[in-house]
C-alpha cells in the first residue's frame, strides 16, 4: 500500500508530473485546452494515476503542497505552449475540497498566478461537487474571489456526487462537467440519455456552459452535439498525454 511517508518523500524528490487531456470544441473538433492530471513517477510501480494517491494526499494534508506544485506546473506549461506557437490554450486544474478550504489557499493561488505570470483567463479550476456542501460562509467568498481574479470555474463530476442545486445556482460558476458515468451509457441506456439531455438543458437555463467527459464513441459525440453540449473530452479524441505526446497532438492539429 502507498504510505504517507513515501508520498512526502516523493514530493521532496519531485517525482510528480502532469499529463494533459485535450478538451475539444465538439462542433469544430478543434482543441480548446487541456485538463491536467497528476501522475506519480514511482521507482517500482511505474506511473501511478492520481486516483491511487489523491485520497492519501488529502487525509495526510500533503494535498496542500502537492496541489500548489500541480498548479504551478500547469501555469508554466500553458505559457511554454503559447511561446512554442500553439496559440492561446486553456488549462484546467483539478482541486479537492481539502485543498480549497485550506485557509491559505487563496493567498497561495494569487501568489502562483503572479509568480508564473499566467493569464487568469487561461486558467480553469475544476471544483469537486462535494465542495458545495461545505460551509457556505467559506465557499461563497472563496469562489467569488476566484471569479473576480478572472479564472474559469467548473463544477466537476456533475450528477455523480451529492451537490445541492440551490447552492449551485447561487455560486459564481461558469460551467458544469457532466460525469462520465452518464456519457458511458449513451446511446443505449434511456436513463443516461435522458439525464444527460436534462443536465444540458438545466445548465443552459442557469447560463452555464457544459462539458462532457469520458466521450469514447462517435455515437456519444453525435448525441452530445444534437443536445447542444459544446465541449467535451475523452478517449475518442485523446487519452491524457505526457508533455511530449501533447506537443505531438497539437502539431497534428495544426
Ligand atoms: O486520471 P486519474 O486517475 O489521475 O484521475 C483520478 C482523479 O484524480 C480524478 O477525480 C481527478 O480529478 C483527480 N486528480 C487528478 N489530478 C489531480 C490534481 O492535480 N489535484 C487534485 N486535487 N485531484 C486530481
Ligand atoms: O474526476 P475527474 O473528472 O477529474 O477525472 C476524470 C477521470 O477519467 C480521469 O481518471 C481520466 O484519466 C479519466 N478519463 C478521461 N477520459 C476518459 C475516457 O474517455 N474514458 C474513461 N473511461 N476514462 C477517462
Ligand atoms: Mn476533472
pLDDT of residue 254: 83
- Quote the CA–CA distance of 123 and 33 in Å, as a whole number: 10
What's the pTM?
0.97
pLDDT of residue 252: 95
Q: 145 is written with which cell numbers?
A: 474571489
Domain borders along the chain are 4-253
Report the nearest-CA residue for atom 10 of ligand 2. Answer: 51
pLDDT of residue 13: 97
- Quote the CA–CA distance of 39 and 52 in Å, as a whole number: 9
Q: List, in order, residues 6 or more apart from 194 with CB less than 8 Å away.
A: none
Q: List, in order, residues 6 or more apart from 9 with CB less than 8 Å away.
A: none
- Exposure class string for 49-66: b at 16+ Cβ within 10 A, else e: ebeebbebbbebebbbbb
Q: Please identify every residue whose CB atom is under 5 Å from ligand 3, which is an ion.
A: 94, 126, 156
Domain 4-253 class, CATH top level: alpha beta
Q: Is 94 in the pocket of ligand 1 (CB under 6 A)?
A: yes
Q: Is 58 in the pocket of ligand 2 (CB under 6 A)?
A: no
Per-residue pLDDT of the chain (254 residues; tens, 9 = 90+): 779 999 999 999 999 999 999 999 999 999 999 999 999 999 999 999 999 999 999 999 999 999 999 999 999 999 999 999 999 999 999 999 999 999 999 999 999 999 999 999 999 999 998 898 888 899 999 999 999 999 999 999 998 888 888 888 889 999 999 999 999 999 999 999 999 999 999 999 999 999 999 999 999 999 999 999 999 999 999 999 999 999 999 999 98
pLDDT of residue 175: 97
pLDDT of residue 165: 86
ipTM: 0.97
Q: Is 37 in the pocket of ligand 1 (CB under 6 A)?
A: yes
Q: Is 232 in the pocket of ligand 2 (CB under 6 A)?
A: no
- Closest ligand, as measured to the CA of 154: 3
How far does the centroid of ligand 1 lie from the alpha carbon of residue 37, in Å? Answer: 5
Report the nearest-CA residue for atom 24 of ligand 1. Answer: 94
Amino acid at each position: 500500500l502507498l504510505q504517507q511517508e513515501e508520498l512526502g518523500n516523493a514530493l521532496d524528490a519531485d517525482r510528480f508530473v502532469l499529463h494533459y487531456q485535450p478538451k475539444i470544441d465538439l462542433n469544430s473538433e478543434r482543441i480548446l485546452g487541456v485538463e491536467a492530471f497528476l501522475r506519480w513517477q514511482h521507482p517500482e510501480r511505474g506511473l501511478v494515476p492520481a486516483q491511487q494517491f489523491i485520497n492519501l494526499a488529502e487525509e495526510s494534508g500533503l494535498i496542500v503542497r502537492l496541489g500548489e506544485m500541480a498548479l504551478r506546473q500547469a501555469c508554466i506549461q500553458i505559457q511554454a505552449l503559447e511561446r512554442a506557437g500553439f496559440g492561446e490554450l486553456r488549462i484546467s486544474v483539478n482541486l479537492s475540497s481539502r485543498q480549497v478550504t485550506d485557509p491559505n489557499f487563496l493567498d497561495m493561488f494569487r501568489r502562483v498566478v503572479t509568480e508564473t505570470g499566467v493569464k487568469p483567463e487561461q486558467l480553469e479550476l475544476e471544483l469537486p461537487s462535494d465542495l458545495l456542501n461545505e460551509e457556505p460562509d467559506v465557499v461563497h467568498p472563496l469562489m467569488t474571489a476566484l471569479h473576480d481574479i478572472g479564472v474559469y470555474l467548473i463544477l466537476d463530476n456533475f450528477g455523480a456526487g451529492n451537490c445541492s442545486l440551490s447552492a449551485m445556482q447561487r455560486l459564481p460558476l461558469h460551467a458544469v462537467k457532466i460525469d462520465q458515468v452518464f456519457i458511458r451509457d449513451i446511446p443505449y441506456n434511456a436513463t443516461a440519455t435522458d439525464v444527460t439531455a436534462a443536465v444540458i438543458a438545466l445548465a443552459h437555463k442557469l447560463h452555464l456552459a457544459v462539458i462532457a467527459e469520458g466521450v469514447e464513441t462517435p455515437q456519444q459525440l453525435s448525441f452530445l452535439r444534437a443536445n447542444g453540449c459544446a465541449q467535451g473530452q475523452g478517449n475518442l479524441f485523446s487519452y491524457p498525454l505526457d508533455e511530449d505526446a501533447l506537443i505531438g497532438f497539437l502539431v497534428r492539429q495544426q
